[in-house]
Amino acid sequence: MTLEVAMDRPVRIANCSGFYGDRMSALAEMVNGGPVDVITGDYLAEVTMLVLAKNRLKKPGGGYASTFLRQLKPVVATVAERGIKIVVNAGGLDPAGLAAATREMLAEAGVDLAVAYVEGDDLAPKIPALLADGHELSHLDTGRPFTGWGHDPLTANAYLGGFGVQAALAAGADVVVTGRVADASLITGAAAWWWRWTPADLDALAGAVVAGHVIECGAQATGGNFSGFERIADLTHPGFPLAEVGRDGTSVITKHEGTGGAVTVDTVTAQLLYEIGAPGYLNPDVVPHLDTVHLEPAGPDRVRISGVVGSAPPPTTKVAVTGLGGWRNDSTFVLTGTDADAKAALVEQAVRARLDGDSGISDLRFTRIGTPAEDPADQMAGSSLLHVSVDGEQASAGRAFSSLCVELALSSYPGIYGMGVPGSGGPYGVYWPTLVPQELLDHTVVHPDGRHETVPPPPTAPYEGDAPAGPAEPYDAGETVDGPLGRLVHARSGDKGGNANVGLWVADPDAWPWLRATMTTDLLRALLPETAELAVDRYELPNLRAVNFVVRGLLDGGATEARRFDKQAKALGEWVRARHVPLPVRLLPGV
């Protein structure tokens, strides 16, 4: 099949990884499960970059996601035979190293595939020069200057766009390894190669970014982590998604026939609302406007995405800087039976008696988890947890804290025991998001023959952002009954640096006016008391029948340093769905 023939049909781009540690067999499943043209893999997150940095300090070759090699090796002959292209950001902090390791593996397997890699995202060595040139590298959320951070950067990686991937594929690469390319840009780059798009094809690029955002997190698009999971068949092993991307950027999200899970308008909506902020979804290649997205069923396990409008990308791109903070440790106590409040209070008193006033302790938190049943049928039903976490200097927050917790075993509340023996803890990560001009990046493709090709920055335009939505039209709910919000509303939540997002939507068009009018910022604050002192932005996406809330500062400085038990706000949406509100009787299922 020649590329010219292929150009007459949508490109089939499959995904085989949503994070470093995702299903090992996914690449083989996508290769063997049906026709595909390109398989992408997203391995990176802010937490992952710090993990790779720690690995790199311990051993050579620790700067990339080595699992990619184990995934590719069993199917590499089939990949070559069928002409499938592979595009992954598993290169992490060392794309050149992973490219070399991939070539070595291919040689051992006797398979001839051309491997290129994309670099230019690593700004860690350039931070002093950037500061000297007047770039403050201010914090993206707080505006504080980088010089006040107080930590040494371990990593600093800019988010590159997809045109490096396009250039590598256009020059004949079969495998493209990247570092910190924006997640969706793996897919955008592959589609831009297939259709020969230029940076001027804004709507097409925007459609590809949206398709990429849907499939980048693997099985989350096929029913994984979906609030309506009870209606999804075979979630024990859901298939991974793929996108059929057309010339104009319109796409169909689907999966290989016969695989588990499902692709529905709601599973796609769930992923669209994951880890987003304002409707203008910033990307180094284009700004897709999520409030222009239209979804419609296109057959069993097929959802069409159309109508996406794109505008020029901003002149800056995000840079994620990570480093090491202080020492963190924790211990979890089990509280069983009656008087749980008094038992928890006794532990807190004992710990504070030893640690309050210790200059080596910077943060001490006590978190209650669960409520014991009033008349428990078994011991676990009558148990809850007390999680104690501490930050500070190693001398105080390390073994000294662990020993303190162990010493309570015979001198505290009745029935005391813990969730394992407390350890010595370890250094926690710190995170600094900032922006740099795209024109400063050395976005470079290193082709299989060693030739270096510079990828110019795209034409950009200032982006002012989207204003939060104002009050909606009042809604006459009629007769209501108190019940969990989740009886009518789906949710998906996640982390955006130190912020969290909660996307809420309804499947029933008749319920949209109610959700739009009812789900205000004030109501969200009432349902989630921990947001009371935090800034909250609210955005509407009418085409998706959704509202999206961005809770600023909920996750401290980001997932690497969050002190909240749910560090990435994965379950925040499910908590909202569990809260009781007045529900219009006429909208309830079966009424």
Q: For 187-243, what is each residue's pLDDT tens digit?
A: 999 999 999 999 999 999 999 999 999 999 999 999 999 999 999 988 999 999 999
pLDDT digits (tens, 9 = 90+) for 236-285: 999 999 999 999 999 999 999 999 999 999 999 999 999 999 999 999 99
pLDDT averaged over the chain?
A: 96
- pLDDT band per the 50, 70, 90 thresholds, residue 5: very low
**Mean pLDDT, range 115-132, rounded to an integer:** 97
pLDDT at 500: 97
pLDDT digits (tens, 9 = 90+) for 445-474: 999 999 999 999 999 999 988 999 988 889
**Mean pLDDT, range 579-589, rounded to an integer:** 96
- pLDDT band per the 50, 70, 90 thresholds, residue 591: low
Written as six digits, the tokens of 390 are: 């501490």
pLDDT digits (tens, 9 = 90+) for 545-567: 999 999 999 998 888 888 888 99
pLDDT at 570: 96
pLDDT at 7: 64
Please provide the distance, in angstroms rounded to a whole number, between the alpha carbons at the two ends of the chain.
54
When comparing pLDDT for 386 and 465, which is higher? 386
Which amino acid belongs to residue 246? Answer: G
Element spanning 47, H or E = helix 46-58
Cα-based angle 253, 256, 260 (whole degrees, multiple of 5)? 100
State how beta strands 546-551 and 452-454 pair.
Answer: unpaired
Task: Tell me how far the alpha carbon of residue 33 is from its chain's centroid.
Answer: 26
Put simply, whether the predicted model's pTM sits higher than 0.85 gets the answer yes
* Distance from C-alpha of 537 to C-alpha of 552, rounded to nearest angstrom: 8
pLDDT at 4: 42
pLDDT digits (tens, 9 = 90+) for 469-483: 988 889 999 999 999
- pLDDT band per the 50, 70, 90 thresholds, residue 390: very high
**Mean pLDDT, range 354-383, rounded to an integer:** 95
pLDDT digits (tens, 9 = 90+) for 134-143: 999 999 999 9
Sign of the alpha-carbon dihedral angle for 191, 197, 200, 204: negative
Q: Is the pLDDT of residue 352 over 70?
A: yes
**Mean pLDDT, range 328-342, rounded to an integer:** 97
**Mean pLDDT, range 141-161, rounded to an integer:** 95
CA max distance for the chain: 77
Q: Is the pLDDT of residue 1 over 60?
A: no
Burial of 514 (C-beta count, 10 Å sphere; 0-12/13-18/19+): buried
Q: By C-alpha distance, which of 568, 437, 445 is closest to 181?
A: 445
Q: Is the pLDDT of residue 3 over 60?
A: no
**Mean pLDDT, range 392-421, rounded to an integer:** 96
Contact of 144 with 136, CB cutoff 8 Å: no
Q: Is the pLDDT of residue 6 over 80?
A: no
Sign of the alpha-carbon dihedral angle for 557, 559, 560, 563: positive
Strand partners, 433: 320
